[in-house]
Amino acid sequence: MNKRPAVSLIVATVNRTAELEQMFASLGAQRFKDFDVIVVDQNTDDRLVPYIERARGYGLDIRHIRHFPANLSAARNVGIAAATGEWVGFPDDDCWYDEALLERLQVRFQCRDPLSGAAVQWVEEGLPRTPASRLTWERSRLFRDIPVASFQLFFHRGLFAQIGDFDCRLGVGLFFGAGEETDLVLRALRAGALLTYEPDAMVHHPLKPPPPTPEARKATLHRERGAGALYAKHKLPHWVIARGLAAPVVRPLLKGSLGHDLALGCAIVKGRIDGLLGWRRMHP
């Protein structure tokens, strides 16, 4: 009987290939080896097959699962259902791990509390942004210390039995085009989970500032509906919502950036209002 791994890493992917090469190579280079990889493939063809075969050449234990139609939250939930590791992580298909990342999480992996998790350091973003050693519901409901990206997060598998999986109404490809990982963190903290920052464990993910184009602003609006949905779903304080709606426009005005920055801020505000009202309308 095969021994269960300490960690299962779930990679939900669609429409990317070359980026996976770097991610798989970084997993193969991990000094901590007690993990497996679950690739949830949302493509309708076999484009990933040669990349997965090469990754197995790095010594990786990979399971390749197909999932249609494309829905990032649903795909990750398929991976969670298939995972056998005590802990679960969610590397993006275009991120890459520092070779010591999993090794530096070993103390957390030894924790048997089912309501526990960790957020690692996103190098390019420079987290943690505060000296806080752990996330708390009191600060997070004020949108302090969050949002955090899914590729930073590791959770004990018992957490999902307690609070459920990713909310499939939130995420890429949906009306509410983001926010699923922040929603999961908020639900975990509300349930009493201990989520610590682990700044010595580092993940890399390219920062991609939106270009100054109408298409990019439209994509930003789409994503920001997720933030508006979180305002409504988690009944955040009115002043937090007001701050979130004012800041994207006030900041460029104070800097005198009346071109792209202001237009982008307006798109953010419109997206958040769409999301807030849309969630209240669709999920009263």
Please enumerate in sequence order all residues whose Cβ is within 8 A of that of 21, keeping only pairs 6 or more positions apart, or say none. 51, 54
Domain with CATH 3.90.550.10 in the chain: 7-204
Rounded Cα distance between 197 and 145, Å, is: 10
Higher pLDDT, 166 or 126: 166
Which residues is 69 bridged to in the sheet?
none
pLDDT band, residue 113 (cuts 50/70/90): confident
Express each pLDDT in 10-42 by its tens digit.
999 999 999 999 999 999 999 999 999 999 999
pLDDT grade, residue 1 (50/70/90)?
very low
Work out the mean pLDDT of the chain and round it to a whole number: 93
Contact predicate 231/276, CB 8 Å? yes
Amino acid at 200: D
pTM beyond cutoff 0.85:
yes
pLDDT tens profile 59-102: 999 999 999 999 999 999 999 999 999 999 999 999 999 999 99
- Angstrom distance (rounded) from CA 38 to CA 74: 14
Residues 256-280 have a mean pLDDT of 95
Nearest to 276 by CA among 249, 220, 238, 219: 238
Distance CA 83, CA 101 (A): 20
pLDDT tens readout for residues 174-221 = 999 999 999 999 999 999 999 999 989 999 998 888 888 999 999 999
Instruction: Give me the CATH topology for the region 7-204.
Output: Spore Coat Polysaccharide Biosynthesis Protein SpsA; Chain A (3.90.550)
- Whether 258 has a pLDDT exceeding 50, the answer reads yes
CB atoms < 10 A from the CB of 129, how many?
Answer: 12
Q: At what angle do helices 214-233 and 180-190 cross, to 10 degrees?
A: 20
